[in-house]
Structure 1
Amino acid sequence: MRGNSTDDDADTGSLAEGRKLLEILNVRVVGNGEKVVVLSHGFGTDQSAWNRIVPYLQRDHRIVLYDLVCAGSVNPDHFDFRRYTTLDAYVDDLLLILESLGVDRCFFVGHSVSAMIGVLASIRRPDLFLKLVLIGASPRFLNDGDYHGGFERGEIERVFEAMECNYEAWVRGFAPLSVGADVPAAVREFSRTLFNMRPDISLFVSRTVFNSDLRGVLGLVRVPCCIVQTARDVSVPLSVATHLKAHLGGRTTIEILHTEGHLPHLSAPALLAPVIRRAIMRT
């Protein structure tokens, strides 16, 4: 009886932890349909980045939206600098969200860093994921020998220095560069969510992301993947998409969007949404 009581206490604690996390990360479920699609945003944005994508999916799917703990829409007191030193803690959050919502199978759409969070989550729990749609994904942003990630170490260090020196000025330069395409509304939206982030959290997360190297685990992925990449992305060169396709363990396809920039869900939703729909229909 004692053991059963302990198990019950653990289950109750886990449920309470899950409910708390759903509240902290502003988890929402919208739309109809049996198939579940999880939309997970990238660095510098929050779940509002998917606002122009949701209408294309919600009629036929149940959509789970949430904010990463580093997002400006989340109370910064919940960001634990000791815990979120690697992407594994973000994976823990994602898996607890799915468990708390009772989701046992889903399609996962992740942008940028969230694409790699999805990759890691699928390695840990392949049974949960029907397919990964990886938008602007990169297992490593730094160049390394024959691997072209897009950035030299010195370039990244200068970015960190600029963020630390004058965050507002850095945002004003970084936002249009990342959006790439000439879409002023997308630049304004990305700037807004970047400004919402506390600068020290933004810098810390940037360091975590740019110092990550997940190339070694790609072969452990068994879930089908669709890599979505714009024709010109200042953050992720096309060679990275090719590397992912060559090294991901699951069946993998690449979709090239004929537009520019790292945030097509903000700058070209009408191009991106049909690609996502096709990807989640072809399991």
Structure 2
Amino acid sequence: MNRLWRANARVVGSTDGREEEGAVSVVLAHGYGASQAVWHKLVPSLSQRHKLLLFDWDFTATGAGKDDQEVYTFGRFADELIAVMEERGVGASGAVVVAHSMSAMAACIAAQRRPDLFAHIFLVCASPRYINSEEEGYVGGFDEAAIQGMLAAMESDFDAWVKGFVPNAAGDASAVEHLSKSFLAMDPGVAVKLAKMIFLGDQREVLDGVKTPCTIVQVKADFAAPPSVAEYMQLRMKGTAATVEIIDSVGHFPQLVAPQQLLDILDGVLRLREAAAAAEHDAGSVEITDGIDVAM
């Protein structure tokens, strides 16, 4: 398995010496067609108070996943997420992992495999299944014929598909140029393989095993992952405290078109995690009558 993509991982930001007070590290995991650059509107604010881990999955232009024999699965991405967190020393005391689009289900799997690394999973525009299932009453947003048609268009002329797909995914003209460059930087063969993994897959059973506290953030007008998917995910995550937040925006990339709304929700989660960590730290010591605190 190619690991050269890890060379693109970087840790930025500062905890300002607040680790002992429960400062929380943040991992930013981008989705399909993007790179770590997709977080550029969030990084300046987040890095003032938190240590951030950013990286590129190996399907980006800077990645190395262009081997025709490469096999992509959500489980593989979960293992790579765990590996990069360990290698960069992020998550030793539990990190808040912000996972966009396809990274969301990888994060759910990774949190089950290594719960010690994950204090909270923050899922942005997530979907465990894109294809509708009438017999189950599940609305994923697409019928299978539409997905097969999209995949055929990608295989036929990837560049033309990108030019048609990106404006809908962006939701705002201001994000089209950024995303077009990012999507077109992918190797077309790799892009199609990943698209099949994502759009034909069914990861709904993964939700049953999620134990890590979770925030599911969906965009009100996201053609790829409608709010009904977020509601389904919340109901199925019976093993944890899962909440849903809806951003009043359009498109599949709120970090580009509605960054402040996304930051506001994330900041609330981070402050709660810091308060919880600080409380745990305080509970770990007992005050002795002579005024000396002894760690438990």
TM-score by length of 2: 0.84
Runs of 4+ in structure 1 deviating by more than 4 angstroms, as ranges, are none
In structure 1, the gaps of 5 or more residues are 1-16
Question: How far, CA to CA, are the matches of 2:214 and 2:190 in structure 1?
Answer: 30
Partner of 1:96: 83
Tell me if structure 1 keeps the 8 A contact 2:26–2:50.
yes
Return closer, same or farther for 1:98/1:234 CA change in 2, 3 Å cut-off. same
Question: What displacement does 1:21 show?
Answer: 5.3
- Please, what TM-score do these two structures have when normalized by structure 1? 0.88
TM-superposition CA deviations, 1:242-267 (whole Å, max 9, x none): 00110112101111111111101111
Match of 1:241 among 220, 230, 253: 230
Distance in 2 (alpha carbons) for counterparts of 1:280 and 1:42: 21
Report the Cα offset of residue 80 of structure 1.
6.5
Q: Which has the larger radius of gyration?
A: 2
Task: Report the secondary structure of 2:232's partner residue.
Answer: helix
Q: 1:171 aligns with which of 136, 146, 162?
A: 162
Instruction: Between 256-265 and 183-192, report the one with greater CA deviation.
Output: 183-192
In the TM superposition, 1:216-255 aligns within 5 A as: 216-248=205-237, 249-255=239-245
Once residues 231 and 190 of structure 1 are traced to their aligned partners in structure 2, the CA distance between those partners, rounded to angstroms, is: 20
Letter in 2 for 1:239: S
Give 3-state SS (helix, strand or coil) of 1:187's partner: helix
1:274 paired to 2:264: yes
How far apart, CA to CA, are the structure 2 residues paired with 1:215 and 1:81?
27
Alignment of 1:200 with 2:189, yes or no, is yes
1: CA distance, partners of 2:68 / 2:99: 22
- Counterpart residue number, 2:11: 29
Q: Is the 8 A contact 1:141 1:236 kept in 2?
A: yes
Q: Secondary structure at the match of 1:282?
A: helix
167 and 83 in structure 1: CA distance in 2 versus 1, 3 angstrom threshold: closer
Work out the percentage of aligned pairs sharing the same amino acid. Answer: 36
CA change 1:80–1:50 in 2 (3 A) is: farther
Q: Where does residue 46 of structure 2 map in the other structure? A: 57
Alignment pair present for 1:153 and 2:144? yes
Counterpart AA for 1:168: D
> 5 Å matches for 1:135-154?
135-145=124-134, 146-154=137-145
Shift of 1:282: 2.0
Contact 2:100 2:126 in 1 (8 A): yes
- When the two chains are superposed, the root-mean-square deviation of aligned CA atoms in Å is 1.5
Residue deviations 1:35-89 (CA, integer Å, cap 9, x gap): 2100000000000000001112001100000011112221344x564432x1111
- Residues 21 and 97 of structure 1 are in contact (CA less than 8 Å); yes or no, is this contact kept in structure 2? no
Q: Give structure 2 stretches of 5+ with no counterpart.
A: 274-296
The aligned counterpart of 1:4 is none
Find the residue that maps to 1:259 and give its secondary structure: strand
